[in-house]
Amino acid sequence: MEIIKTNIDDVVLIQPRLFNDSRGYFFESYSQRAFFEKVRPINFVQDNESKSSYGVLRGLHFQKMPYAQSKLVRVIKGAVLDVAVDIRKGSPTFGQHVAVELTEENHLQMFIPKGFAHGFSVLSDEAVMQYKCDNFYHPESEGAVAWNDPDLRVDWRIPAENIILSEKDRHHNRLKDAPYLFNYNENLYPELK
């Protein structure tokens, strides 16, 4: 697998090695050994899958400590714009984001570490996403930042009138008003010391 750096340290793209022939293709979507060597040691404990239609926007979500999650995200059908926003107070990239189109054709994966809010918009008629998490879902620890926070300047690549949100995602705070943020100097991976 090839690791592609982004404009924010620790958020990386992973390009798997694809083997094509007349029957189709094969690739290794995850190797713990390679991931540990090239990205960081992570113990993924939960795999999730979501299916969404064009215009659906989910985000920008995170879980608070000690239930924060790292995610390894990929698309197996369709196309999405995947977004990670640095919400670590004191970080040199605080409030900046990485936005990458993940598709069934490019097979890219994005690693979003703890300390980031995550969201995506569906660009195709339908999209199926799979992602690995290194902590279990804990509903009482949910946090979020407004998807349309003007300070973040995320271009979701969907006309505003076509965006489909959950009721909950309509009412999140802007980053500057968020009641909970991570601290850049805090060890967000104490279990891996």
How many other CB atoms sit within 10 Å of the CB of residue 51?
Answer: 13
**Would you put residue 55 in left (φ > 0), alpha (ψ -120 to 50) or beta?**
left
- DSSP assignment string, 146-167: -TT-TTT----SS-GGG-B--T
Task: Out of 54, 61, 67, 118, pick the active-site residue.
Answer: 61
Catalytic residue from among 97, 118, 131, 172: 131
97 is catalytic: no
What are φ and ψ of residue 38, in 5° steps? -100, -20
Q: What is the DSSP letter of 142?
A: E
> What does the alpha-carbon distance between residue 88 and residue 97 come to, in Å, rounded to a whole number?
12
Asked if 98 and 145 count as a contact pair (C-beta separation under 8 A), the reply is no
Q: Is 172 a catalytic residue?
A: no
| Residue the block writes with tokens 């994966």 | 109
Main-chain phi, psi angles of 21, to 5 degrees:
-155, -170
The catalytic site residues sit at 61, 131
